[in-house]
Structure 1
Amino acid sequence: MKKYLVILGSLILTLSCQQKSEEKSSSVGYQGWLKGTSEEKFEEVAHQLGGFSRTMVEVGYRYSELYWAAMDENWGYADHQIEHIIEALEDGLKRRPERMESAESFMKETLPYMEDLIKQEDQETFLKGFQTLTSACNACHSKEGESDIMIQIPLNRTSPVRF
């Protein structure tokens, strides 16, 4: 019995020392930019990921690329963009779950509808659906009290990707 108490005591001491060493401040990343305790590092990483506004930057870029992919009839690239729009929104909604209610129909109806249109590989049909996508974007913004953010069909390409 005494042997087990010594082993248990050693284990507790070891775990306690490990926990204290984890609480020490340290630096990681390129040139040690990420500093602090484990908790402080996680907080900084969460801050770097940002909220939903960073999600919208990516979605906006991919929305534009989706449009131009269809104009080029590059359906593989269009499919790539819709997949990444979905992924970006899913990630953003993990960080800001309070936005899910506004995004629900967009995620469950609008984006699958666009995926189906892309599979048809018909530019005219796609363009009608793209108007629906644009309206759904604006409806979601309105639900979130962001009705001053009005999405419109892109006028200019910003990416060098061409088909």
Structure 2
Amino acid sequence: MTKIFNGNKLLIALVVSLSVENFAYSESYDTGDERDWLLNAENDKDRLILLQNYLGGFSVSMWEVGDRYKTIYSALQNENFDLAIYHWKKIKAVIENGYLKRPARRANSDAIFINSTYEAVLSAFETRDIKKAWQGFSNARSACMTCHVAEKIPWMNDQNLFRDTAVSNN
């Protein structure tokens, strides 16, 4: 038992030592290297502001959603249900992460997409029945477009992304 305790003391001492060394380094951020744009900020508040700006707003999340949406469309064309399911699950996570950055977008995202459309579309894809999967995709497309209207950006629906992915095009 003493050997285990002594081993734990050694481990604790090592962790504390590394933490102190890391803290000491963190107090002298300016490396002089322009690639250290975040480390070279004046203080933690400035670093957080840089990170917040870098991460962007909800539009960054929507960019990723659009890319995954197109991939789902292609996956269904190829009857690759696993790929469609994978990206559908990722879309949910991206939207939830998006409204962490822009909480005002949460109400419509949850009401129109997360709480009323997501599970039904996932179930449609999981049936591996192409007709049901396309119906699910059509419902997802409608939810996206409905959310854009609810968010007062209906002009977002007037783009090739939605024209080219209308289920009637299949």
TM (normalized to structure 2)?
A: 0.72
Give 1:133 deviation, angstroms: 1.0
| C-alpha distance in structure 1 between counterparts of 2:122 and 2:78, whole Å | 17
* Cα distance in 2, alignment partners of residues 30 and 79 from structure 1: 41
1:108 corresponds to: 115
Query: Aligned match of 2:124 in 117, 127, 130?
Result: 117
1:57 maps to 2:59: no
Match of 1:47 in 2: 53
Go from structure 1 to structure 2 and tell me whether the alpha carbon gap of 1:80 and 1:28 turns closer, same or farther (over 3 Å shift): farther
What residue is the counterpart of 2:93 in the other structure? 87
- With over 3 angstroms needed to count, the CA separation of the structure-2 counterparts of 1:130 and 1:39, relative to structure 1, is same
Give the fraction of aligned pairs with identical amino acids, expressed as a percent.
Answer: 27
TM-superposed CA distance for 1:33, in Å, is 2.0
Query: Does 2:130 match 1:126?
Result: no
Structure 1 outlier segments of 4+, above 6 Å: none
Supply the distance in 2 between the matched residues of 1:29 and 1:76 (Cα, whole angstroms).
Answer: 44
Match of 1:32 in 2: 36
Separation (CA, whole Å) in 2 of partners of 1:149 and 1:114: 22
Q: Distance in 1 between matches of 2:73 and 2:162?
A: 11
Summarize the Cα distance change of 1:66–1:27 in structure 2 as closer, same or farther, 3 Å threshold. Answer: farther
Counterpart of 1:152? 162
- Deviation of 1:121 after TM superposition, in Å, equals 0.5
Unaligned residue ranges in structure 1 (runs of 5+): 1-17, 156-163
CA contact (8 A) 2:92 2:114 kept: yes
Match of 2:145 among 135, 138, 141: 138
2:30 maps to amino acid: S
**TM-score of the superposed pair, with normalisation by structure 1:** 0.75
| Alpha-carbon offset, residue 154 of structure 1 | 3.6
Cα shift at 1:26: 3.1
Q: Which amino acid aligns with 2:122?
A: E
Letter in 1 for 2:98: G
Supply the distance in 2 between the matched residues of 1:73 and 1:32 (Cα, whole angstroms). Answer: 45
Q: AA paired with 1:43?
A: I
| C-alpha separation in 1, matches of 2:154 and 2:164 | 18
Measured on the aligned residues, the alpha-carbon RMSD in Å equals 2.4
User: Is there any run of 5+ residues in structure 2 with no aligned partner, and where?
Assistant: 1-22, 166-170
C-alpha distance in 1, partners of 2:33/2:150? Answer: 39
1:104 Cα offset (Å): 1.4
Residue 77 of structure 2 corresponds to residue 71 of structure 1: yes
CA–CA distance in 1 between the matches of 2:152 and 2:82? Answer: 35
CA contact (8 A) 1:64 1:154 kept: no
